[in-house]
C-alpha cells in the first residue's frame, strides 16, 4: 500500500487529515459565502486539499487547467455531472494533473496558489445532478437484525436474500446535501394494537448509515459486474432517513414508500473510486453460490470505517455506532449489475444507496431501530439521556474514512438536524 503523498499545502500532510493529496475529493461551492472564489460563475467545482479547496472552475475558465484537449469548457456549470460524463480516461488524467500541481515541490505551485480558497465556512451544495436514486438492503447483519425483530431468528433472512441484491426505486427529488435541516414527517400510522390508522407525526424516526455509489457512465442494457465497477465514479456518505412507524404500516406488498421519501442526506465531497483503490476488499464467503451474472471478478468492496454521532440540541455528541463498509454482502458493482440485468438503463448521476451498514456486534448497528431493538432496549447517551428513536433537535452526523499508512481517505461529514413536524 502506498504511503502519504506529500503536498505543499502543509495541513494536507497531517495523518488525521480527511483530505490529503491521496484523496482529492470533488465538491461544489456557492460563490456568495466563499467570496474568494473567482469571478463569473455562481457555482464552482472545487477540490478539497488539506484545509483548503482548489477552485477548478475558475482555473479552467482562465486556461490554467483542462479536462482534456478535446473537452472544451466542462466545469462552468459548477457541478461534476458533465465531467463524469467524459469517462474514466478523463477522470484519471484530471486527477493525475491535480496531483502533479499539488504535490510537494511541484513546479506548478504558483499556477494553483491564486485559486486556493479556505474550506472553512464554504457553502457546499449538491456536487452532481442526481438522476435517480435506488436503495438496497445488502448488509447481512442489518437484514438479520431487522428480520429477527419482525419474523423471528428462524426466518430472519427472506428466502431471496442470499441470491438477489434486494432494492427499491427511491426518489432523487428528496436527496439533499449535508447540513440541510430535516423536518419530521407526518404519515399514516397504525400500531399493532390500534383499530384504525391515524395521520400524525412519525414517532419512530430513524437513520440508516450507508454509502452512496455514484454512477458516472451511462448504460443502456445489461452490464457485467466488472463493467459496473468501472462505471462507478465515486462514493459519498449517505443517511437514508426512515420513519419506521410509517414504514411498518405501508410496506406490504410493494416496499417502502413515504417512510423513506422525506429526505436522504449525502456528504458534500465525492470520494473517487480511484482514491479508494488501495482499500479494496472482497465480499464475504457465500452460503450459496451467486448466479454467474453476479460473480465478483475482483475485490469491489472497500475497507471504510464508519461512525454515527448523535447530539441532542445544544449538547455534546455521543458516538452511537461504528461499522465498516467491508462487511457488506453485496458490493455497489454487484448492485449496479443487477440493476441493469432487466435492461434498465442507467444514467450519469444515478445514485445507489448501499443499504444500511451494520456489523456483528451491538455497537456496529447502523440504525436506531437496531440499536434500541425496535424501541424495546433504549440506549443511553453520554449526556445521560436515553434514546430509542430520534427526538426533535437531535443532530445526526455520519463520518467515514479508509485508513492508510500515515494518512487517511476521509469522506468529511454527513450532517442533518431533525426539526419538529409542521402543520
Active site residues: 142
Span near Mn ion by CB under 5 A; candidates 71-79, 173-181, 212-220, 238-246: 238-246
CB of 241 to Mn ion, least distance (A): 9
CB of 402 to Mn ion, least distance (A): 22
Q: Residue 135 interacts with Mn ion (CB under 5 A)?
A: yes
Span near Mn ion by CB under 5 A; candidates 69-77, 111-119, 171-179, 207-215: 207-215
CB of 356 to Mn ion, least distance (A): 5
Q: Residue 20 or residue 256: which is nearer to Mn ion going by CB?
A: 256
**How far apart (Å, rounded) are the C-alpha atoms in residues 103 and 106?**
5
Residue 374 backbone class (left: φ over 0; alpha: ψ -120 to 50; beta: rest): left
Span near Mn ion by CB under 5 A; candidates 43-51, 56-64, 236-244, 278-286: 236-244
Q: Residue 206 or residue 296: which is nearer to Mn ion going by CB?
A: 206
Q: Residue 22 or residue 267: which is nearer to Mn ion going by CB?
A: 267
309 in Cβ contact with 207 (< 8 Å):
no
Which residue among 208, 245, 327, 350 contacts Mn ion (CB under 5 A)? 208
237 phi and psi angles, rounded to 5 deg: -70, 150
CB of 133 to Mn ion, least distance (A): 10
Count of CB atoms situated within 10 Å of the CB of 149: 16
Q: Residue 370 interacts with Mn ion (CB under 5 A)?
A: no
Residue nearest to Mn ion (CB): 240
String of DSSP letters for 314-369: TS--EEEEEEEGGG-SS-HHHHHHHHHTT---B-TT-EEE------SSGGG-SSHH
**How far apart (Å, rounded) are the C-alpha atoms in residues 29 and 33?**
8
Which residue among 132, 206, 240, 327 contacts Mn ion (CB under 5 A)? 240
Q: Is 310 helix (H, G, I), strand (E, B) or coil?
A: strand
Residue 353: all three cell numbers together: 444507496
6 phi and psi angles, rounded to 5 deg: -80, 145
Handedness of CA 347, 234, 333, 339 (dihedral sign): negative
CB of 369 to Mn ion, least distance (A): 11
Q: Residue 59 or residue 146: which is nearer to Mn ion going by CB?
A: 146
Q: Residue 324 or residue 358: which is nearer to Mn ion going by CB?
A: 358
Span near Mn ion by CB under 5 A; candidates 133-141, 171-179, 251-259, 327-335: 133-141
Interface positions, 1-60, toward Mn ion (CB under 5 A): none
What is the size of the binding site for Mn ion (CB under 5 A)?
Answer: 3
Q: Residue 82 or residue 267: which is nearer to Mn ion going by CB?
A: 267
**How far apart (Å, rounded) are the C-alpha atoms in residues 25 and 381?**
33
Burial (Cβ within 10 Å: 0-12, 13-18, ≥19) of residue 2 = exposed
Q: Residue 206 interacts with Mn ion (CB under 5 A)?
A: no
Span near Mn ion by CB under 5 A; candidates 1-9, 205-213, 304-312, 397-405: 205-213
Span near Mn ion by CB under 5 A; candidates 113-121, 208-216, 227-235, 270-278: 208-216
Burial (Cβ within 10 Å: 0-12, 13-18, ≥19) of residue 6 = middle
Q: Residue 98 or residue 310: which is nearer to Mn ion going by CB?
A: 310
Alpha-helical regions (H) of 81-139: 81-85, 88-102, 109-112
Q: Residue 25 or residue 366: which is nearer to Mn ion going by CB?
A: 366
253 upstream amide cis, omega within 30 of 0: yes
126 phi and psi angles, rounded to 5 deg: -55, 120
CB of 267 to Mn ion, least distance (A): 16
**How far apart (Å, rounded) are the C-alpha atoms in residues 237 and 299?**
20
Going by their DSSP bridges, the two strands 175-177 and 264-266 should be labelled as parallel
Chain residues that interact with Mn ion, rule: CB under 5 A: 135, 208, 240
Amino acid at each position: 500500500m502506498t504511503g502519504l503523498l506529500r503536498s505543499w499545502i502543509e495541513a494536507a500532510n497531517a495523518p488525521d487529515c480527511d483530505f490529503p493529496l491521496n484523496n482529492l475529493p470533488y465538491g461544489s461551492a456557492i460563490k456568495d459565502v466563499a467570496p474568494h472564489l473567482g469571478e463569473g460563475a455562481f457555482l464552482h467545482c472545487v477540490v478539497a486539499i488539506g484545509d483548503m479547496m482548489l477552485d477548478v472552475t475558475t482555473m479552467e475558465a482562465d486556461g490554467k487547467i483542462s479536462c482534456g484537449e478535446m473537452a472544451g469548457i466542462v466545469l462552468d456549470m459548477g457541478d461534476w455531472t458533465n465531467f463524469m460524463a467524459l469517462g474514466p480516461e478523463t477522470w484519471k488524467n484530471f486527477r493525475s494533473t491535480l496531483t502533479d500541481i499539488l504535490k510537494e515541490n511541484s513546479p506548478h505551485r504558483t499556477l494553483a496558489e491564486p485559486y486556493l480558497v479556505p474550506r472553512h465556512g464554504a457553502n457546499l451544495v449538491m456536487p452532481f445532478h442526481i438522476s435517480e436514486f435506488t436503495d438496497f438492503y445488502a448488509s447481512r447483519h442489518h437484514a438479520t437484525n431487522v428480520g429477527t425483530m419482525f419474523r423471528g431468528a428462524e426466518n430472519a433472512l427472506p428466502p431471496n436474500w442470499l441470491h438477489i441484491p434486494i432494492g427499491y426505486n427511491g426518489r432523487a427529488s428528496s436527496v439533499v446535501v449535508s447540513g440541510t435541516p430535516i423536518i419530521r414527517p407526518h404519515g399514516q400510522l397504525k400500531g399493532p394494537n390500534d383499530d384504525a390508522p391515524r395521520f400524525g407525526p412519525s414517532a419512530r424516526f430513524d437513520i440508516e448509515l450507508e454509502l452512496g455509489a455514484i454512477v458516472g457512465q451511462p448504460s443502456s442494457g445489461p452490464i457485467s459486474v466488472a463493467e459496473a465497477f468501472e462505471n462507478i465514479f465515486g462514493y459519498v456518505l449517505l443517511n437514508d432517513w426512515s420513519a419506521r412507524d410509517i414504514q411498518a404500516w405501508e410496506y406490504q406488498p410493494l416496499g417502502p414508500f413515504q417512510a423513506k421519501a422525506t429526505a436522504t442526506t449525502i456528504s458534500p465531497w465525492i470520494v473517487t473510486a480511484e482514491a479508494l483503490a488501495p482499500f479494496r476488499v472482497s465480499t464475504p464467503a457465500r452460503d450459496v453460490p451467486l448466479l454467474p451474472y453476479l460473480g465478483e471478478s475482483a475485490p469491489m468492496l472497500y475497507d471504510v470505517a464508519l461512525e454515527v454521532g448523535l447530539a441532542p440540541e445544544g449538547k455534546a455528541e455521543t458516538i452511537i455506532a461504528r461499522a465498516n463498509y467491508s462487511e457488506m454482502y453485496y458490493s455497489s458493482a454487484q448492485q449496479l449489475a443487477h440493476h441493469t440485468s432487466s435492461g434498465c438503463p442507467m444514467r450519469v448521476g444515478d445514485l445507489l444507496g448501499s443499504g444500511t451498514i451494520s456489523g456483528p456486534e451491538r455497537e456496529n448497528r447502523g440504525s436506531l431501530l437496531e440499536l434500541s431493538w425496535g424501541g424495546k432496549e433504549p440506549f443511553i447517551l453520554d449526556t445521560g439521556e436515553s434514546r430509542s428513536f430520534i427526538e426533535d433537535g437531535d443532530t445526526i452526523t455520519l463520518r467515514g474514512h479508509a485508513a492508510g499508512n500515515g494518512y487517511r481517505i476521509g469522506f468529511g461529514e454527513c450532517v442533518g438536524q431533525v426539526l419538529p413536524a409542521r402543520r
